[in-house]
Structure 1
Amino acid sequence: MSTFLTARSVRTTPEGILWEPSERWVRGRTGDITVVDSRHPVLVWEPGLPVPTYAFPREEIRADLLRPAENPPLGTHSGSQSFYDLEVGGGLRENAAWTFPAADLADHIAFEWFRRSGKGLDHWYEEEEEIFIHPRDPHKRVDALPSSRHVTVAIDGTVVADTRRPVLLFETGLPVRYYIPREDVRLDLLVPTDHTSCCPYKGTAAYWSWPGEADVPPNLLWSYPAPLAAVAAIEGLVAFYNEAVDITVDGRLLERPVTPFSGALAARPST
């Protein structure tokens, strides 16, 4: 038992990088070319970044597709020792891979994820399930729980949602999100947009905006029409950014939280 626990423990390098062995089979592809096929990946948390990435033993990647980077970026990925361009499918993807400046990870290479950074590998899989944006953090929970709480949502003083059958989504490090049946939301007061986002824990979301003249950001509310199985209870329900609307739960007005989304919401122009 002690050996198992040691093998799964998070380690810290002198550079402040956290890493942990993973037992998942991970593959990364560009088109129909498999660049990564690893049975021994490690999860890596860089200082100041809230989400992990994977790094892989050199023998489990297509090192023949990598070239020393012609224009390596400075001051990124914990002061990476080496960057690589990826030559695949007749094209070159600059700075698609890198090494970490840590002896523990000297024989490992990490890759960018295209859907997160716009470069790197297009598709990633854990076992046979495609994953998006970044690896799921094994130390993070996401729980969707049906509830009978009374939840109302107001935008600029107008009540746009009122329900006693929400699903509460608890996600480590974020405020509770209140998912509300569409029948209990005044979607006639809102406008669908073409904005989408992907979440490694929940899936792909569609958005709506408030069309009024209030100083509120666009894409204030969202829904997952086909969420991942772990949060199937939120399918088709609608949630609002607590950071930008007034949510009242069982008669108590919630404070608007400050989260990693707050800055982006404040920077968006009003519709």
Structure 2
Amino acid sequence: MTTRPAHPAARSIRTTPEGLMWEPSERWVRGRKGDVTVVDSRHPVLVWEPHLPVPQYAFPHDEVRTDLLRPAQNPPAGAHTGSRIFYDLHADGDVRANAAWTFPADDLAGHIAFEWFLRTDTGLDHWYEEEEEIFVHPRDPHKRVDALPSSRHVRVEIDGRVVADTHAPVLLFETSLPTRYYLPRENVRLGLFDATDHITRCPYKGTAEYWSWRGEGDVPPNIVWSYPEPLPAVAAIQGRVAFFNEAVDITLDGERLERPDTPFSRMLRKGSRS
């Protein structure tokens, strides 16, 4: 049996001289490539890089199939904070370049981090926290997502045309993002939109489907979405419809809201020009 240092009684984020922030996690985390379990860790560490808003995991060497890793043939420059040691993953009859790396910080010596396949095409296929599959990136323990039913009056317009009006929204509050308004389908004029094949995945909410505006005007594609089978923590939004506040006009209780400027704003502006 391996003896490890006990986790701190009071969780606290630590900072390395390289600007990395990290803290231990008590979640059981597994990562798979095809049918091969590459990571099986009960002692993961969450790491935040200065240029990334979301965390990633690093794992003790003895909880990783290091026999499947080879020194990278073409390590990327500047891909991760100060990292110079990268590995190619040889597993399940495939090679994924630069799938893993080590951080330079002394605090994180003996740990290996992995890309997540749904963020890039180099990482592992599936990740699990306990028995639940997690998509895109690890959940941030310092971030909250609350879905609260409300009786507030929400009206949505596109180019002056009312496309949704309800007194029964669910308000979704997510740390560092604008409030999203999930509206009953019967209160949304979905006939003004076309379903698309676009999907996104969120570690907090699940898998979303999208619609695009079929009318005229400089309206980005995929501005409407819904979670048909959301994760249990936000079950209240199931089947409801939400709009990008960044691209439509929302009036809340008679007050027109300013369109927020978020990373999604830039994505939507790029989409409207394509």
What TM-score range do you get, normalising by the shorter chain?
Answer: over 0.9
**Which one of the candidate residues 214, 231, 234 is aligned to 1:231?**
234
- Distance in 2, Cα, partners of 1:149 & 1:30: 46
Q: Which residue of 2 aligns with 1:128?
A: 131
**Alignment identity in percent?**
73
Q: Secondary structure of 1:4's partner?
A: coil
Q: Is the Cα contact below 8 Å between 2:18 and 2:82 reproduced in 1?
A: no
Residue identity in the other structure for 2:206: G
1:4 paired with 2:9, answer yes
Partner residue of 1:222? 225
Which of 65, 78, 96 pairs up with 1:75? Answer: 78
The runs of 5 or more residues in structure 2 that have no matched partner are 1-6
The aligned residue for residue 103 of structure 1 is 106
Q: Counterparts of 1:211 and 1:79 in 2: how far apart (Å)? A: 46
Task: Say whether the 8 Å CA contact 2:35–2:92 is kept in structure 1.
Answer: no
> AA paired with 2:47?
V
Q: 2:160 maps to which residue?
A: 157
Structure 2 Cα separation of the partners of residues 59 and 3 of structure 1: 21
Give the structure 1 partner of residue 38 of structure 2.
Answer: 35
Match of 1:112 in 2: 115
TM alignment of 1:54-73, pairs within 5 A: 54-73=57-76
Q: Which stretch shows the higher mean deviation, 212-221 or 166-175?
A: 212-221
The 4+ residue runs of structure 1 with deviation greater than 2 A are none
* Distance in 1 of aligned mates of 2:127 and 2:105: 25
CA RMSD in angstroms, aligned pairs only: 1.1
Answer whether contact 1:216 1:270 (CA < 8 A) is retained.
no
In structure 2, distance between residues paired with 1:203 and 1:232: 10
Q: Report how far residue 270 of structure 1 moved.
A: 5.5
Structure 1 residue 148 corresponds to structure 2 residue 142: no
Give me the whole-angstrom Cα distance separating, in 1, the residues matched to 2:53 and 2:264.
12
Counterpart-to-counterpart distance in 2, 1:104 and 1:246: 47
Does the residue aligned with 1:262 lie in a helix, a strand or coil? Answer: helix
Among residues 260, 264, 267, which one is paired with 2:263 in the alignment? 260
What is the CA–CA distance in structure 2 between the aligned matches of 1:69 and 1:270, rounded to whole Å?
A: 37
Post-superposition CA distance 1:15-43 (Å, at most 9, x none): 11000000000000011100000010000
CA deviation string 1:239-261 (max 9, x = no partner): 00000100000000000001121
Give the AA of the match of 2:223: L
Consecutive unaligned residues of structure 1, counting only runs of 5 or more, are none
How far, CA to CA, are the matches of 2:108 and 2:142 in structure 1? 21
The one-character-per-residue Cα deviations of 1:58-86 (angstroms, maximum 9, x if unpaired) are 01000000000000000111021300000
